[in-house]
């Protein structure tokens, strides 16, 4: 078997795409983002897919993309925040690579999403309540499948990617 894939999980705005891109460079892997792949294939952004197909339609697309991407070799994949909601997604990610849970305090996530209009789950209601609820719902699922957990608010993305790469290399994961 080739090098083990790395799958990044965590809430929206935690830095999965930014850190993932840098981590892939560090490791000499390819970088893929499930939301971007879904958008490319649909010819529309995630918010539009949510509006037209609902969350169920989006999650169906997401499961298909996770299945495909997780079978590649030598990739770092940033998943959407809700990818862990489906048992089959959790099973694929856990079985097909190393899962890294990126976490950040709620206040930091609120700062990062404050002006972001592309997050379908933050379009209505109080963003603080929504993010807090999502954390409560999803954190046990992230913990269930993650091999590692890193906080994203203590250092810049480059330093964090370097730390993750160093740890994965030390542990013989990659």
In a domain, 61, yes or no: yes
Model confidence band, residue 58 (pLDDT cutoffs 50, 70, 90): very high
- The strand pair at 30-33 and 97-103 is best described as unpaired
CATH code of the domain in which 104 resides = 3.40.50.300
With cut-offs at 50, 70 and 90, classify the pLDDT of residue 139.
very high
Q: How many helices (H) and strands (E) does the chain have?
A: 7, 5
pLDDT band at 110 (very low <50, low <70, confident <90, very high): confident
What is the mean predicted confidence (pLDDT) over 58-79? 97
Report which DSSP code applies to 6: E
Q: Angle 39-148-86 (CA atoms, 0-180°, nearest 5)? A: 45
Residue 137 resides in a domain: yes
Whether residue 59 lies inside any domain: the answer is yes
36 lies in which domain range?
5-166
Tell me how far apart the alpha carbons of residues 10 and 141 are, in angstroms, rounded to a whole number. 10
* Domain contains 174: no
What span, in angstroms and rounded, lies between the C-alpha atoms of 161 and 29?
Answer: 13
Structurally, the chain folds into a number of domains equal to: 1
Q: How far apart are CA 47 and CA 52, in angstroms?
A: 9
In-domain check, residue 125 = yes
């Amino acid at each position: 078997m080739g090098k083990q894939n790395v799958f990044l999980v965590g809430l929206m705005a935690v830095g999965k795409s930014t850190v993932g891109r840098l981590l892939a460079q560090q490791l000499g892997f390819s970088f893929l983002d499930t939301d971007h792949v879904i958008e490319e294939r649909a010819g529309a952004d995630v918010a539009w897919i949510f509006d037209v197909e609902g969350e169920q339609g989006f999650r169906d697309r997401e499961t298909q993309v996770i299945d495909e991407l997780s079978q590649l070799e030598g990739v770092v994949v940033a998943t959407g925040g809700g990818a862990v909601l489906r048992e089959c997604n959790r099973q694929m990610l856990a079985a097909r690579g190393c899962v890294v849970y990126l976490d950040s305090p709620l206040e930091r996530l609120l700062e990062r999403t404050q002006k972001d209009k592309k997050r379908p789950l933050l379009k209505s209601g109080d963003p603080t309540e929504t993010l807090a609820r999502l954390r409560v719902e999803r954190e046990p699922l992230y913990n269930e499948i993650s091999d590692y957990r890193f906080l994203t608010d203590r250092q810049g993305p480059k330093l964090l990617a370097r730390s993750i790469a160093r740890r994965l290399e030390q542990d013989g994961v990659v």
